[in-house]
Amino acid sequence: MKNNNLRTIISIACTLICIACIILDYNIIAASFGLVAYFTSLLTTKFVTRTWQIYLAFLIALIAGYAMGLRVGFPFMALSLLSLTLMPGIRTLLFEQISNVEVGWFESVLCAVGIGFYVFGNMYNSNSWIGWAFPAPAILFGIFMAVGFKIDRNGFARTITQKQNIEIDKPAPEFTLPDEENNIVTLSDYKGKRHVLLVFVRGDWCPTCHIMLRAYEKFKDKFAEKNIILLAIGPDSVGVNREMVIRLGLDYKLLCDDKAQAAKAYGMLFQPNNNETKYGDGIPLPASFLVDINGLLLYTSDPRKPGSILRPETIFPIIEKLSTIA
């Protein structure tokens, strides 16, 4: 959490210095601080993904691009950086509606638009080397993101055509995994005591998984009223999970499934690693499972509609029927 707060402070501070340098006509300094602010804001949204930070990243992209374009003529460079920032931002904000597999052309088009504004703006406004050099890292990173989105989306689309090998009203598969404090958690420990809601995430690299984890955190009291314990499961190490729990302010366990024990037991679907991951078995898809107090599987989310997992309230009609005692 401290690191993310520091990133936020740095991005805002650099943006303010950039604005001051724009006013004072210090072109190189303005472009330099704009570039730092741009990348720092992207890192902030990646690791916490709060809505206001995404919109802040859009604003910073406009200001940084304006500085890099030397304020000459039409602000093509501001639109270039904004286009690149919209790639991860819009997909994350609208994940519930478009998820990973729909509107597949989105990132490629925005990347092409960003590159187009960059090239045309520099040529049309006859910018100096500053206009070409300073936005170049953002352009290269934008291309990297667009390629990554394409690889991830293609793998996701291929994987969701497979079928899960679990059945409703059948015993839920057992697992034993360490939590973020390295304490061992076994599903059968809760049998006869509590219902269990399992939430599988793709890993700390996935911004929408951060949104998902916080969405379930908001409803923890409602789950507690129905004697439901919430357990998140991800492919990252114990250390990464501990940092993620603290950073996102979670009040429930995040289990380490780095050997894909639980994911495989639940018939989870895997897609190939993208350019941000190197998991041994690939990337598990996001999913949720409700196991009742008797150890039976009552509900599973639809992997073909991963956006629905961002709305925990879709499971409310089912949990309202649960008994609070064994």
Q: What is the pLDDT of residues 295-307, one digit of tens each?
A: 999 988 866 666 6
Model pLDDT for residues 150-162, shown as the tens digit of each residue? 877 777 666 665 5
208-257 pLDDT per residue, tens = 888 889 888 988 888 888 899 999 999 999 999 999 999 888 999 999 99
CATH number, domain 176-319: 3.40.30.10
Q: Residues 93-115: what's their mean pLDDT? A: 78
- Percent of the chain past pLDDT 90, that is, above it, reads 45
pLDDT in the model for residue 238: 96
Span of 94-103, 172-181, 312-321 with lowest mean pLDDT: 94-103
Which pLDDT does position 169 carry in this prediction? 86
118-130 per-residue burial string, b: 16 or more CB within 10 A, e: under 16: beebbeebebeeb
For β-strands 195-200 and 287-291, DSSP reports them as antiparallel
**Cα–Cα distance, 206 to 257 (Å, whole number):** 16
Q: What is the token pair recorded at 104?
A: 């597949």
Tokens in use for 283? 């990337």
Q: Return all residues near 229 (Cβ < 8 A) that are at least 6 apart.
A: 190, 194, 195, 196, 197, 223, 252
Q: Are 151 and 274 in contact (CB under 8 A)?
A: yes
pLDDT tens readout for residues 4-61: 678 888 999 999 999 999 999 998 999 999 999 999 998 887 766 778 888 999 999 9
| C-alpha 127: how far from chain center | 36
Q: What is the pLDDT of residues 268-293, one digit of tens each?
A: 877 778 777 888 888 888 888 999 99
* pLDDT given for residue 209 in this prediction: 87
pTM to 2 decimals?
A: 0.74
Domain ranges of the chain: 2-159, 176-319
pLDDT at res. 275: 74
Q: What is the pLDDT of residue 74?
A: 86
CB 191 within 8 A of CB 295: yes
Give the integer Cα–Cα distance in Å for 316 and 63. 43
